[in-house]
Amino acid sequence: MAEYLIKRILFSHGERLPMLIDTETGMPDYWATLFSISQYRSKAQASNTIEQVLRQLMLLNIFLKHYSKESINLDERIAQGKILHLHEIENLCDLCKLFLEDIHTDIHKKPLPQNIPQTSLEKFRTNNSKKQIRTVSSDTTANRIRVIRDFLVWRTNISLTKLQEEDLTFNRLKESRDLLKSNMTSRIPSPSGNSWINAPKGLSEEETSLLFEAVTRDSPTNPWKNEFTKTRNELLILWLYQFGLRKGELLSIKISDINFQSETFILERRADDSEDPRINQPLIKTFGRELPIPKKIIRLTKDYIINHRRHLPQAKKHEFLFVASKTGAPMSLDTVNKVFSKLKETYPGAFKKLSPHILRHSWNDNFSEKMDKEHRPEEEEKKIRSYAMGWSETSNSAENYTKRYIQKKANAVLRDMGNDLWDNDNIHDSDKEER
């Protein structure tokens, strides 16, 4: 059993508050709760953001308890005017590179013999010496180190306010805080390298054709058996692909958001919606907007609502468009993930990286090609894309989604340059020279 878990509390007014729970006591972690409420909730940060902060603090708690010669008690350390020693800071930053699930697995393995050092990550590396150790992205590592650094500095500052400046402990604690802050900051990795090589890509034309062939409700290769599930999943894929939506945006859509006469729909931010019974509420991260709906999707959406959705018992109790196949309750984020997992299991060779977000990249690839064909000015293209995606006009988010298309154009230009160069009669190859 895990020592810590994240639990969301759903208040009557709709707010979701994540909390870090110690499973041994069943109680929320005091300092993590205070930090998340005072530094994030008070600034109206989204519940998903708060949950990510708590996951970083879970990692810190695991480190303090398991990855040192003896458990580190921060209260005792701070009372002595200390926080973490330099080697402990190094070990903590190393631990931030590992997958949390791998760390959980590691700490539940049998203890190592006493002669094996326990002062760094030797325990983890020894336990896992026979398999390749997985590491998270440099961006994830950086975020973990920042959150943990800020938490430790914040907690230390609280103690400093209770001490007199002439107190010896005050000066020692202040120096320890500054040492920790500078050393942790220096260990924050730079943004991911090889961004062009590893840039996420949308689906190819072949993959797109196969995807729609697989999810069409009457397709013999459709992996689902239930008629409702086939109909819903076909529509779900169409909405994601057509509009480049995030899965949270998709699951936030209500039937009343769709205007069937004007063939448009609105995306509206409804954080802490009291009408949404899901504890892990799907959220819209970007700006709200109104978008047109193609006639095919209008027709299929009407059919889904009238002939399929309305027959499920709980579907009459709410307005959310996409619902669970057996109950009619609002569809969860996990269920969307399972739809894509099923497709990857059914077509393991074709859809290795298939995910809801890949379809967002596909939308941006398609949009770039459309703008090129219409010879739209770059500034106009940026504004249209930003509106469709819900970004501000000054946002640089498009750079994350246009890399594949830019690569494609660059390679086409380079090929043309090569062909022009070697087809030039002024350049003679060895065969021509011999003749």
User: pLDDT of 256-311, one tens digit each?
Assistant: 999 999 999 999 988 888 899 998 899 888 888 999 999 999 999 999 999 999 99
Residue 154 has pLDDT above 70, yes or no: yes
CA distance linking residue 293 with residue 261, whole number of Å = 11
Helix H or strand E segment including 251: helix 247-252
How confident is the model at residue 117, as a pLDDT? Answer: 44
Taking residues 201-213, report their average pLDDT: 91
Note the pLDDT of residue 13. Answer: 85
SS3 (DSSP) at 308: coil
Worst-scoring range by mean pLDDT, 204-213, 362-371, 403-412? 403-412
pLDDT band at 153 (very low <50, low <70, confident <90, very high): very high
Total Cβ atoms within 10 A of residue 209: 11
Q: Is the pLDDT of residue 119 over 50?
A: no
pLDDT number for residue 192: 64
- What's the token pair of residue 63? 């480190």
Q: What is the pLDDT averaged over residues 157-185? A: 95
pLDDT band of residue 323 (cuts 50, 70, 90) is very high
Listed in sequence order, the residues at least 6 apart from 117 whose beta carbon sits closer than 8 Å to its beta carbon are none
Q: What is the mean pLDDT of the chain?
A: 88
Calculate mean pLDDT across residues 29-35.
96
Average the pLDDT over 202-217 and give the result. Answer: 93
Instruction: Read off the pLDDT of residues 223-244 as tens digits, 9 standing for 90 and up.
Output: 999 999 999 999 999 999 999 9
Q: What is the mean pLDDT of residues 177-205?
A: 82
Q: What is the mean pLDDT of residues 173-194?
A: 89
Three-class secondary structure of residue 5 per DSSP: strand
CA 314 to CA 323: how far, in whole Å? 9
CA 29 to chain centre: 24
- Percent of the chain exceeding pLDDT 70 equals 89
The pLDDT of residue 298 is 97
Residue 1 pLDDT: 66
Q: How confident is the model at residue 424 (pLDDT cuts 50, 70, 90)?
A: low
211 pLDDT band (50/70/90 cuts)?
very high
- Return phi, psi of residue 16, to 5°: -105, 120
Contact 67, 121 (CB under 8 A): yes
Overall average pLDDT of the 331-343 stretch: 96
**Bridge partners, residue 5, by sequence:** 21
Mapped onto helix, strand or coil, the DSSP state of residue 330 is strand
pLDDT score, position 122: 59
| Confidence category of residue 429, pLDDT binned at 50, 70, 90 | low
**pLDDT attached to residue 198:** 60
Look-up of token digits 């998340």 = 36
